[in-house]
Structure 1
Amino acid sequence: MAYREFDTPSMSRRALLRGGAWLTAGAALAGAPMGRMAFAREAAADWKNVSAMVQKYVTERKVANMVATLGWGDKEPLYIARGTLALGGTVKADADSLYRIYSMTKPITGMAAMILIDEGKLGLDQPIAELLPAYSNMMVQKTYDGSITDVVPAERPITVRQLLTHTAGLGYNIVQKGPIAAAYTEQGLIPGQVSRLPLPGLGRATAVKGLDVFADRLAKMPLVLQPGSKWSYSVGLDLMGRVIEVASGMKFDEFLRTRIFEPTGMTSTWFTVPESEIGRLTTNYGIMNGSPLPMDPARASIFLDKPPFPFGGAGLVSSPRDYDRFLEMLLGYGVIDGRRVMSEKAVKLGTSDLLPETATTKGTWIEGQGFGAGGRVSDGAYGWGGAAGTVALVSYKVGLRANLMTQYMPSEAYPVHDAFPKAVLEDLAVMQGAKS
């Protein structure tokens, strides 16, 4: 990222876009018994613990705002919204406020790939070199994060499955250290953005222009791990954007707009916030020494600029209502409002564990869990979180869709990614007790 050196106890570069702190808590929600869905639908407004959590964060001024969205099946969602678009502001946050969702972009990119796989334009285990020849003869670092010249040939080709599941051996400038991290920055392999402001410690490296250029330059970098050997958070979903372009014959952002956003009714999801919608955009805050400081003010946001290329791993801005539409489509196995956006087969496959048999998760953020098309899967649940505190999931086991929107970085500054699923579980338990 352009913030390579922004590495302090309260704002580590590793935390900025990974959005993965909620993983273990999400698994607990997935384990709720099937029978809970019926009584929860009858008491949809009785989310007292979720309401208390949202109220607490806003009242204590830890965040400017927070919006929780909860929906059952294909029913209208409940919105629990508190706060204003910016601290000290007057415009209240609501279902249509705009949030930087960062890594919650990844499941959307993943589902775009599943559409093409379902249509036979991509193969799940197809080597990407068949579409991007530059990836035909990849080299791999002998030592993880070590020398970028002491390398060996890749033992197997990079596949579509590996890009979707962070097992391709690709690096990430928010994860890697040493020479490979410096090389990524030098080559402009920076698939994300934070602010226009010259914040202390926030690197000002410039990303390459164009998804095609990004893919070509990335191919010249050594891999950090052998393809298919280990789960390692990466630029895989950003590179998937270029694969989607070649396979579909359409620009990546156009593919998302025409094949997912428009048919799903997502009217407020963009890589660039239109000037007409600035009044809905929230301010993003950096938590420094426990206090929120504006790092991307809404009216001077970097998300008002056209990005160097559409970041398939971390580039979208969306609203609570829009992201709920995406989740409702997934929970409906590809159908929303009677319209089919994706096939049932594509959704089921994309929300299942797609990890290669050769890949280990030991010692990683997802150890003991699975990973699908751009999101974690565990016991009937699929979803992911974002670097600015956002989190979303669908639970097929209970028929629930849920997302939480707020804006602060890094996501680990507060335990929101864990607290939200925990509050949902607590409310479900209360509802169950009321029906027993």
Structure 2
Amino acid sequence: MAYREFDDMQLSRRSLFRAGGMLAASGMLATMPMGRSLLAHDVGESWPNVARMAKSYLDSGKVANVLVTLGWRQEDHAHTVGGGKLGFSNDTPVDENSLYRIYSMTKPITGMATMMCIEDGHFTLDTPLAEIMPQFANMRVLKDPEGALDDTVPTEREITIRHLLTHTSGIGYLITSKGPLLEAYGKNGLVGGRVSRLPIPGFPPVEPAPGLEEWANRLATLPLMAQPGEKWIYSASIDLLGRVIEVASGMSFEEFLQTRIFDPCGMSSTFFTVPRSEVGRLTDNYGIAGGFPIPIDPGANSIYLDAPKVPSGGGGLVSSAKDFDRFQRMLLGYGTLDGTQVMERESVRVGVSNILPDTVDLTGSWVAGQGFGAGGRSVGNTFGWGGAAGTIASVDFDRKLRAALYTQYMPTEAYPMRSEFLAAYEQDLSGMSSAS
């Protein structure tokens, strides 16, 4: 069984909805008389450039599906552009109920779960992690992030919940660590989202830690890449928050998400483990090699049909476009969805805002010149993040607009789909604005 931590390493500040600017600019349409009337369930005619982009990828055989979802305000479901099928060898059409590996789009969900723990009074943004998990007291920091694990200095400040939510804790990741620290992450089974049962050339299999508690305990034995609060380093900190939630709430991480977010939001198609009864909705995932898609996780025999040893709060969920849109609607409603208060308004407001510590230096990071909230990028009043297999989503609170792109291929940089999607999206929005 091969595990490889893939993530949105190549997700530049330009590639997440142009750092939110694209959707912020597009929001003007929500205030136009034509804005909502343009949107039917399938809105390809209203978004011709987006539809053309999706069709070009489908017709060329680069991907099996491209599904874009768009929703204004509290419309009860998102509208769609694009389509395709579950896989190249599966003719079942994709729709809003098809299941996608959302990978790091799990992070904003874990972020909001953490904000719920704050509203429950379990801790605050600036509570030291060691007060909840004493094994993280007296952490050490590598003098050289690529150097020997015993060449360290003491931390100058304690890791806090804020640091974990914003990737400023100094903790590493399989996809950002290097040298001995990277080897230690692999040896200790500190993996995140799962990829395949198949061996992946160039990446030796890693056996995950036997559970989230042990995963966290092993992480506590390794040095940090940087001083807490000093640098933005994409990290395993959101995965660690899954264990923080368990310790603070007294519930398993999976139970907390199910009872506090999935059930109240009506997210009946969001899973760490896809039930066998739902396998007929699960997309195939592909690795792109030499420009050709190769199946690495067929839906019919997906690794996501097995229960994970470690439920990854940073990249472990499978969900449908309909389900994730309901999560986005809940955020747009500042915690309320269809009359149900899922979260407190202030919890959402703070969670989607820029909560980066004042001490952090963003120079050279993926979020330079921007903000970061509870597990997602925060720019102005736009909040969102993307996943390793091509998914991406964002919510614009000023304009009450939610949008997402779903497909299934790895690595994301194999195709310029995201940048082409953004360009097409902007062209369509500009055309709508001119037509008004």
TM-score range, shorter chain: over 0.9
Aligned-partner Cα distance in 1 for 2:325–2:190: 31
Superposed CA offset, 1:159-194 (max 9, x none):
000000000000001111110000111111112211
Answer with 30-39 or 195-204: which moved more: 30-39
2:21 to 15, 25, 28: 28
Aligned to 1:56: 56
Superposed, 1:90-129 pairs within 5 Å as: 90-129=91-130
Partner SS, residue 99 of structure 1: strand
RMSD: 1.6
CA gap of 1:143–1:258, structure 2 versus 1, over 3 A, is same
Aligned pair count reads 426
Partner SS, residue 357 of structure 2: coil
Aligned to 2:280: 279
Superposed CA offset, 1:21-74 (max 9, x none):
423624321431653212322212312222122111111111001111100000
Q: Which amino acid aligns with 2:11?
A: G
CA gap of 1:338–1:421, structure 2 versus 1, over 3 A, is farther
Question: Is this contact kept in 2: 1:29–1:422, CA < 8 A?
Answer: no
Percentage identity across aligned positions? 51
Question: Is this contact kept in 2: 1:81–1:93, CA < 8 A?
Answer: no
Shift of 1:420: 2.8
Superposed CA offset, 1:181-232 (max 9, x none):
0011111111221100123223211010111101111000000100000100
Aligned-partner Cα distance in 1 for 2:187–2:239: 18
Aligned-partner Cα distance in 2 for 1:362–1:102: 26
Superposed, 1:278-317 pairs within 5 Å as: 278-317=279-318
Aligned to 1:369: 370
Aligned-partner Cα distance in 2 for 1:19–1:347: 27
Partner SS, residue 186 of structure 2: helix
Aligned to 2:167: 166
Superposed CA offset, 1:255-292 (max 9, x none):
00000001001010000100000000000000101111
Shift of 1:426: 2.1
Partner SS, residue 287 of structure 1: strand
CA gap of 1:116–1:327, structure 2 versus 1, over 3 A, is same
Question: Is this contact kept in 2: 1:156–1:227, CA < 8 A?
Answer: yes
Aligned to 1:153: 154
Aligned-partner Cα distance in 2 for 1:293–1:423: 27
Partner SS, residue 273 of structure 1: coil
Aligned-partner Cα distance in 2 for 1:352–1:408: 30
Superposed CA offset, 1:342-376 (max 9, x none):
11111110000011000111101111111000000
Superposed, 1:377-392 pairs within 5 Å as: 377-392=378-393
Aligned-partner Cα distance in 2 for 1:195–1:131: 34
Aligned-partner Cα distance in 2 for 1:215–1:330: 29
Aligned-partner Cα distance in 1 for 2:264–2:419: 32
Superposed CA offset, 1:101-141 (max 9, x none):
00000000000001111222121000011110000110000
Shift of 1:323: 0.6
Aligned to 1:208: 209
Unaligned runs of 5+ in 2: none
Aligned to 1:87: 88
Superposed CA offset, 1:326-351 (max 9, x none):
10110111111111111111111000
CA gap of 1:33–1:190, structure 2 versus 1, over 3 A, is closer
CA gap of 1:274–1:34, structure 2 versus 1, over 3 A, is closer
Shift of 1:3: 5.2
Aligned-partner Cα distance in 2 for 1:352–1:16: 23
Question: Is this contact kept in 2: 1:30–1:378, CA < 8 A?
Answer: no
Aligned to 1:8: none
